[in-house]
């Protein structure tokens, strides 16, 4: 029997290997490439891919702001939303944290990321920089770069140019060695050198112009074989495409009539700072901006960001930018669709793609005035006439009708018909006759997210917190705890820490005589520490006691101090909260203290202690003892922290918890804490800081009119950030280690860890909504095709109940719907039959489905539904968890 068994095993192995090879051949061509090799070029109208002009939608997605496990889903959602291209920066300080020491693992595995983009059938726009800005720590520059002798950043400086060229060449060579350029069958179609340099070039004088020209020539000379871009660079040379960044780029023109109109950063939201309001950009305005861009000759629009993600660890820029980089993007920080923004823009992209044959076949559109603030751009022609060897297109016609009036709807006559244009909107007519999309008319669903309890079950039934009961703690020493050095004077923060830690301790001593004490008592005055200028955050201690903390951006500090007779220990704790990421002369910016440090209000006058003997201690003892890994040694002993204990400032805490059941994204609530950092299973989640936004400024949001980051803000009077993303891949089912370093006297007893998911979905679609489903193969099927209402829960969730349904004249909005005077009694039953128990459903908005409850009235279908996780998850919670808190 043994020989027969061996033969069977051999055949089984051969069959398995053969099937595996066959599967690989199916997934990827035999040459190992993602595409048949193709060339990329451009003309004045568009990027040309494999000989074809293309209108391209690009989705910004920064690989280190998500985990590798998240990348495929994010890329897939970008593609489903209509993206042709994925855009990312390259983050130099992530890849070369120390000079000559490289990191291309985990979240920094850029090769893996690019290959996953290619596997999805998408192109890649790689912005090498290597200056990124991106609200990323130090703008992407490694801090060691400051220490290169004689260096000056981003100017005609030999040491900087040498380091920059070395890194840029390394990335280009890496991409080429992995066959990732288009001409190799890879997804990379565009590269970028530098970033927004035109904003600061003048500050460097002649050195700036020389550097810009050098950077362009250096990049071009690397032989990457695809076009290079410089954004916000009006003096870019002929062989580099200059591009636009901003909220609106329809009025932008490149600096040569041989270059296409490219929008490298379409800001679909904005970043957030600690203590600030949270920006929001309405879907209607964002769609308006994109439609106007393509209306007026645009060729590639890149959403910055399509997915923002998370500034894990200490990667957030500064100063004082928060850990979340959600950016109000089309996909939220947790990887869930932000609706209606994602869906509305998906519909826009579909409408633009319907126009692509006309857009690429015409050299420039025909402009037609339709009114004082109304205009049309018409793309109509049989073929290109510039003599280039490009494919011909059959006769097509597409038009964009715009109403740029910020307040009033307009009726305009175009091509023999009358069209109604809402204020601040664009209608897209793929055939110059029928409207496929209007930017102000949203047909996509609205999704309401929740964190924690599943809304389909009562709080008594299920609580989705999965927490531990016990905590352990270790106090962090104030001041000196390990290896130190002494220096006569105040040293700049980064020159000492090299950004290995946020924290730098400065310690000195000052004698106070009996006469000094008596003087303060008799004059009823208090001496103070004054510092001319400080950034980002500092705490002052005297004789081991906290005197106070100050937040500032190069601001003066005045901190009262209480001295005792004799020698007094003064400890200053300087903290960075993200290094400056934007502006000229970054290498000179620094952190910590500038100017004089004095003790004021003394009997014999002020005492200048700037050049006193200062002892320096870098970092926290817990950091260097790897407390974030839960380690216990003779120098760092964890002890129990009973719930009735009085917490101390500057303390480490740890506990263990079970992961929430299921696959939903996970968040930790730190609203009950003060300021510090948090780790899970040794992975650095990031900084946290419970600062509230101002009470005012959150007014009613009107999408009409030009957007800026102060318009439509949210979260007034609330903590800027309360919930922090814990990637699922960083968790195990049970026994997860949570470590917190807390700087204030807050105890970790109100922390919870919970899943995040979409709990409520709503949609509202009128009968006269423009039906994209009526277009097939670029042709309009006719007005008889009814629009559809679509509902969809998160992956793995199903529609568990219909909370509102009305076909007729419903009133209100999501979570505030009510029946109007006209209502079809069949509404609820039709929707329930079509949707209950399903992940998604679609229903025609027509009398044929619901009956006609009111003749000669345009009806609307409004639906509100609940989404729930799989039943198995619910019973797992019920059987294994009860409401508990850390």
Catalytic residues: 196, 265
The distance from CA 34 to its chain's CA centroid, rounded to whole angstroms, is 27
State the DSSP string of 318-374: BTTB-SB--TT-SB-TTS-B-TTHHHHHHHHHHHHHHHHHHHHH-SSPEEEEEETTE
What 3 state SS string does 623-650 have?
A: HHCCHHHCCCECCECCEECCCCCCCCCC
**Upstream peptide bond of 305 is cis (omega within 30 degrees of 0):** yes
Length of the chain: 886
Closest CA to 138 of 537, 536, 618: 536
**Distances, alpha carbon 814 to alpha carbons 184, 781, 845, 850, 860, in Å:** 49, 31, 18, 21, 14
Q: Which two tokens stand for residue 561?
A: 């101090």
Strand 261-267 relative to strand 298-307, pairing: parallel
Bridge partners (DSSP) listed for residue 675: 689
**Distances, alpha carbon 228 to alpha carbons 40, 127, 189, 224, 644, in Å:** 11, 9, 9, 9, 62
**Distances, alpha carbon 640 to alpha carbons 336, 654, 675, in Å:** 38, 10, 22
Q: Which two tokens stand for residue 610?
A: 């700037």
Helix (H, G, I), strand (E, B) or coil at 16: helix
Helix (H, G, I), strand (E, B) or coil at 304: strand
Q: Is 728 left (phi over 0), alpha (psi -120 to 50) or beta?
A: alpha
Give CA–CA dist 546/561, Å, rounded: 10
Closest CA to 124 of 35, 64, 197: 35
Q: Tokens 């030999």 — which residue?
A: 158
Sign of CA dihedral 640, 646, 652, 656: positive
Q: Which two tokens stand for residue 256?
A: 């040569």
State the DSSP string of 84-140: SEEEEE--HHHH-SBTTB---SGGG-HHHHHHHHHHTT-EEEEEEES---TTBGGGG
The distance from CA 391 to its chain's CA centroid, rounded to whole angstroms, is 38
Strand 437-438 relative to strand 485-488, pairing: unpaired
The distance from CA 121 to its chain's CA centroid, rounded to whole angstroms, is 23
Q: CB–CB of 288/425 below 8 Å? A: yes
Q: What DSSP designation does 78 have? A: H
Q: What are phi and psi of 556, to 5 degrees?
A: -70, 145
Q: Tokens 């480490």 — which residue?
A: 652
Closest CA to 401 of 423, 421, 381, 415: 421
Q: Tokens 């804490």 — which residue?
A: 673
How many DSSP H helices and E strands does the chain contain? 14, 42
Q: Tokens 């220490």 — which residue?
A: 147
Give CA–CA dist 306/4, Å, rounded: 57
Give CA–CA dist 273/317, Å, rounded: 10
Closest CA to 226 of 211, 240, 212: 240
Q: Which two tokens stand for residue 9?
A: 């095993």
Helix (H, G, I), strand (E, B) or coil at 292: helix
Q: Tokens 């006469």 — which residue?
A: 515
Give CA–CA dist 216/161, Å, rounded: 12
């Amino acid at each position: 029997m043994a020989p027969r068994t061996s033969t069977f095993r051999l055949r089984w192995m051969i069959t398995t290997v053969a099937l595996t090879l066959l599967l690989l051949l199916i997934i990827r061509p035999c040459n190992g490439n993602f595409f048949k090799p193709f060339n990329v070029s451009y003309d004045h109208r568009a990027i040309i891919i494999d000989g074809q002009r293309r209108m391209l939608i690009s989705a910004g997605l920064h690989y280190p702001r998500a985990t590798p496990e998240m990348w495929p889903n994010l890329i897939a959602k970008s593609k489903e939303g209509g993206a042709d291209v994925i855009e990312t920066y390259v983050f130099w300080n992530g890849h070369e944290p120390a000079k000559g020491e490289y990191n291309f693992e985990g979240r920094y595995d850029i090769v893996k990321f690019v290959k996953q983009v290619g596997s999805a059938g998408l192109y890649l726009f790689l912005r090498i920089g290597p200056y990124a800005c991106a609200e990323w720590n130090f703008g992407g520059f490694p801090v060691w770069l400051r220490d290169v002798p004689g260096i000056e950043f981003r100017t005609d400086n030999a040491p900087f140019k040498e380091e920059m060229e070395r890194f840029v060449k390394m990335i280009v060579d890496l991409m080429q060695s992995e066959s990732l350029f288009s001409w190799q069958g890879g997804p990379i179609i565009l590269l970028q050198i530098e970033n927004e340099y035109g904003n600061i070039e003048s500050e460097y004088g002649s050195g700036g112009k020389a550097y810009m020209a050098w950077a362009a020539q250096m990049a071009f000379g690397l032989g990457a074989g695809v076009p290079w871009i410089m954004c916000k660079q009006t003096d870019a040379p002929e062989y580099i495409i200059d591009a636009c960044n901003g909220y609106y780029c329809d009025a932008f023109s490149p600096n040569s009539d041989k270059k296409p109109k490219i929008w490298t950063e379409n800001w679909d939201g904005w970043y957030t700072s600690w203590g600030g309001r949270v920006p929001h950009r309405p879907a209607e305005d964002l769609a308006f901006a994109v439609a106007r861009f393509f209306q007026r000759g645009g060729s590639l629009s890149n959403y910055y960001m399509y997915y923002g993600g998370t500034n894990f660890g200490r990667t957030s820029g500064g100063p004082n930018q928060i850990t979340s980089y959600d950016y109000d993007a089309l996909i939220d920080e947790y990887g869930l669709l932000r609706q209606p923004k994602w869906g509305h823009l998906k519909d826009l992209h579909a409408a633009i793609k319907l126009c692509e044959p006309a857009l690429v076949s015409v050299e420039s559109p025909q402009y037609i005035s339709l009114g004082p603030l109304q205009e049309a751009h018409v793309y109509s022609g049989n073929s290109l006439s510039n003599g280039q060897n490009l494919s011909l297109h059959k006769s097509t016609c597409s038009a964009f009708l715009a109403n740029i009036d910020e307040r009033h709807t307009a009726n305009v006559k175009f091509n023999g018909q009358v069209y109604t244009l809402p204020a601040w909107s664009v209608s897209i007519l793929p055939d110059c006759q029928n409207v496929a999309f209007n930017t102000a008319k949203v047909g996509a669903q609205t999704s309401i997210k929740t964190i924690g309890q599943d809304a389909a079950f009562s709080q008594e039934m299920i609580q989705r917190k999965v927490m531990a009961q016990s905590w352990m703690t270790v106090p962090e020493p104030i001041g000196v705890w390990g290896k130190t050095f002494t220096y006569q004077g105040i040293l700049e923060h980064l020159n000492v820490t090299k950004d290995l830690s946020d924290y730098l301790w400065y310690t000195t001593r000052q004698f106070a005589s009996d006469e000094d004490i008596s003087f303060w008592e008799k004059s009823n005055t208090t001496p103070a520490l004054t510092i001319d200028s400080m950034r980002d955050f500092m705490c002052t201690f005297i004789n081991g006691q906290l005197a106070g903390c100050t937040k500032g951006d190069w601001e003066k500090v005045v901190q009262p101090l209480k001295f005792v007779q004799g020698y007094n220990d003064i400890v200053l704790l300087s903290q960075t909260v993200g290094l400056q990421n934007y502006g000229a002369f970054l290498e000179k910016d620094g952190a910590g203290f500038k100017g004089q440090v004095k003790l004021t209000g003394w009997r014999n006058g002020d005492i200048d202690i700037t050049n006193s003997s200062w002892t320096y201690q870098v970092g926290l003892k817990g950091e260097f003892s790897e407390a974030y890994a839960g380690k216990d040694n003779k120098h760092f002993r964890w002890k129990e922290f009973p719930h009735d204990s009085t917490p101390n400032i500057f303390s480490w805490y740890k506990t263990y918890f079970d992961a929430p059941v299921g696959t939903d994204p996970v968040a930790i609530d730190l609203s009950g804490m003060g300021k510090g950092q948090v780790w899970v299973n040794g992975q650095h989640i990031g900084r946290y800081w419970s600062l509230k936004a101002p009470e005012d400024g959150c007014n009613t949001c009107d999408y009409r009119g030009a957007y800026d980051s102060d318009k439509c803000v949210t979260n007034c009077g609330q903590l800027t950030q309360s919930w922090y993303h814990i990637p699922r891949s960083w968790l195990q089912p049970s026994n997860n280690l949570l470590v917190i370093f807390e700087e204030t006297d807050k105890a970790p007893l109100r922390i919870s860890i919970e899943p995040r998911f979409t709990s409520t979905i709503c949609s509202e679609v009128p009968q006269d909504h423009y039906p994209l489903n009526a277009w097939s193969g670029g042709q309009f099927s006719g007005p008889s095709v009814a629009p559809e209402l679509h509902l969809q829960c998160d992956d793995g969730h199903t529609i568990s109940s219909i909370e509102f349904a009305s076909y007729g004249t419903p009133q209100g909005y999501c979570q505030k719907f009510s029946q109007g005077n006209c209502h079809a009694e069949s509404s609820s039953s039709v929707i329930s039959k079509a949707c209950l128990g399903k992940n998604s459903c679609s229903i025609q908005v027509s009398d044929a489905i619901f009956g006609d409850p009111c003749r000669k009235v345009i009806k609307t279908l409004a639906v509100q539904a609940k989404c729930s996780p799989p039943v198995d998850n619910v019973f797992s919670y019920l059987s294994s968890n009860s409401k508990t808190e850390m």
